[in-house]
Amino acid sequence: MDKEEFYALAKKVFAVDDSDIVEFYGAVEHPILYCDCPRHHFHVPVYSRVIIRDVNTLEPLPHGQVGLVNLISPMVRATPILSVMTDDLGVLHDGGTCGCGITSPYLEIIGRVGLKDIKTCAAGAAELLANAGSVR
What is the binding site for Zn ion (CB under 5 A)? 37, 39, 41, 98, 100, 102
Nearest approach in angstroms of CB 135 to Zn ion is 49
CA 64 from centroid of its chain's CA atoms: 16
Select 7 or 85, whichever has its Cβ closest to Zn ion: 7
Select 27 or 102, whichever has its Cβ closest to Zn ion: 102
Select 19 or 120, whichever has its Cβ closest to Zn ion: 19
- 108 beta partners: 91
Select 37 or 66, whichever has its Cβ closest to Zn ion: 37
Burial of 49 from C-beta contacts in 10 A (0-12 / 13-18 / 19+): middle
How are beta strands 30-35 and 42-43 bridged, if at all?
unpaired
CA-to-CA dists, residue 134 to 2, 119, 121, 127, 130, angstroms: 42, 21, 20, 11, 7
Nearest approach in angstroms of CB 91 to Zn ion is 14
Nearest approach in angstroms of CB 93 to Zn ion is 9
Nearest approach in angstroms of CB 95 to Zn ion is 7
